[in-house]
Structure 1
Amino acid sequence: MFKKLLIAGICTAVLVGAGTGLWVWQGLGSLSKPVAMAEPVLFDVPGGTAFNDLARQLQVRGLVENSLWVRVYGRLFPDQARIKAGEYEFTNGMSAESMLAKMVAGDTKHWAVQFIEGWTFRDMRAALAATDRLEKLTSDWSDAQIMKAVGAEGEHPEGRFFPDTYLFTSNESDLDLLRRSFRRMETVLAEEWGSRAEGLPYDNTYEALIMASIVERETGAPHERDQVAGVFVRRLQKGMRLQTDPTVIYGMGDKYKGRIGSRDLRTHTPYNTYRISGLPPTPIALPGREAIHASLHPATGKALYFVARGDGTHKFSNTLAEHQKAVRAFQLNRRSDYRSSPAPDKDYKE
């Protein structure tokens, strides 16, 4: 009798164990099934979040049916429970296992902000202020405070930040991006300076940066950058004034309303290159690598003048007489579709 009871007990235990094992196996199997999502889900993991709390949040957000199996999974596979803080994006068809793997890897959601070639530092700060998901530390700071924070105390901010698309996470701040952009400009400028052409009229990288900012603002046609730089370099070498409108506009500040008058050209400002010799005191915009390269590798030739054709390109002239003829042709008799920058459908940068 006892033997029969023992056998029955063992059989029952085996059956219960098998049933429990099947139940656990099925529960854990649910974590590998794809989850249907109508749209991507942003899931935030604050620093210090316990794994059990994360499991419950996954259930609350409808990303798993039962948080129990997430907790069991974490016990069985401890390496898959070492989640990292941050904001994550889960998309349709992902499984709970792939979501956990993403959080273990720290593959957080990245956002983007773009700084455009030719922008001013004011434009750049406005873009940062308008960017969502980015912590704002510098909104009330002065330009001087920002330059101190990026490691350039006492320096002018214009042109010192590299224009590009920068990715960031929700844990980063505007100061983080400013530091990255500042360091990137220093790196690019040093690289281009190291391979510069001989005989350039720049005493240092800062003067090259100033020239690059002018080249950036003077033409939207990429193939013209080295030609524009060549004109300005030859004018500097000959002691001629640069006489470039973008520097005048920058010096006018908020007074500029879309047109430059003869009075503006006569008004003395540190940036009015019709009135001052040499380069202005600072850059006037954010130059891209192409403008920096062109300023350090200007095209050879004899051209000392250029005028906008009206289609976004320029007519280059060797002599004043040729230039005056070009001005009469393209400026004094402007076409109805005249434009100083390239048309959108052309392979030029606006």
Structure 2
Amino acid sequence: MRPSAFLHTVLPLLAVAVLHSAAQAAAPGTSVAIDLGEPAVRSRTVAFGPTAAPQSFTVGCAPGEQLLSGGYGDADPEVRVLASHPTDDQGGPVAAGSQPRAWTVTVLGLRQSAGSLRVSALCLAGGEVTAAAFAGPPADGLPDPPPAECPSGTVRSGGGYATAWQARLGAAVVSGSHPVGERGWAVDAGLTRGQAALRASNWATAYAVCLTGPVQPVAVEDVSFNLDTLARECVPGIAAGVCLVPRLGVATAHCPPGALTSGGGFRAGDAAGQRQYSVAEDGPSAYATWTVRVSAYTTDAAPAPMRLTPVCLFPVAAPDAPVGDLLPDSGASRNQALTIVGLLALLLLALLAVLALRRGRRRPTPVGGIEVVVRTVRTRYRTDQYREDG
């Protein structure tokens, strides 16, 4: 290959390769998945005696942990859950946008004996997210409570509800507590006959736990299940000759590999208002799963569909070093890029010197007189084009 052809062929390839290496040295580092932290379920089993007044029980996260959601389980069918929502350490309400520290469950015993249930808080330790709680607006006489909405720029991790209790009127009947839309949490609640006065008393409120940080939601399908029919029996206390069919259904959901199961919710299917539901479990059965267990009494064995909706979160990819250390004009990257450019310039000079030597060897010796040879070499790369940017 002629030297000039060699120069025109090899130099562009070398220049492109070296400049690409320089650009890689100056560019930000590769992206890695953010570690959301270590999830943990904080639980305790509580016992309560027969009483005509509701009782509340609270389980908190450890110091430094973030509350994702919470719930309950192992509740007796005769225990009615009036509230399951985020609170402060003492079980009190949190202001909109404030950090929740615990999960509180309020129950009412429907029989004259002691009862028990498990209260759980799903917490996250060591991550880079921050949790805040938001409550839905007052009902304003609407048939369903307005949902709680997480602000734009946040991600929903879980939610819950609370119903108002009045000694004479009781509380609303909750048939669903579940995600709605992209960042909302809704409560499906109805009133029985004679409870119209509850509409003016903020009779049900939805709550949402919202996260800020390197996390995004993962869309998953609902888990559909039906309430199986148990043996027909006549329930004492019901009008003579009326027999009810006991029903029971259980479902457990988990998120795809790599995603975090941060919460879950349940929702009754068709004809929800014609059945009396008792949700014995709605909470984390482990940090990677969410379980819902529902019982009901119906007048027939018609299908009673239910849905379980898990809430799944996935870490967002982020640079593997602080942004300030990855900028193109940072000290280490800048020095590395200048070193590469200097090596490229030396390589170009060496190739030009080799070319000049080869031309000198091939030049014929003149017989007499003076021979003047003028040659022109064109190249697209010049060493004076590489300079240090100020």
Short-chain TM bin: under 0.3
* Larger strand percent: 2
Larger Rg: 2
TM-score, normalisation: structure 1: 0.23
TM-score, normalisation: structure 2: 0.21
* Larger helix percent: 1
Higher RCO (C-alpha under 8 Å, 6+ residues apart): 2
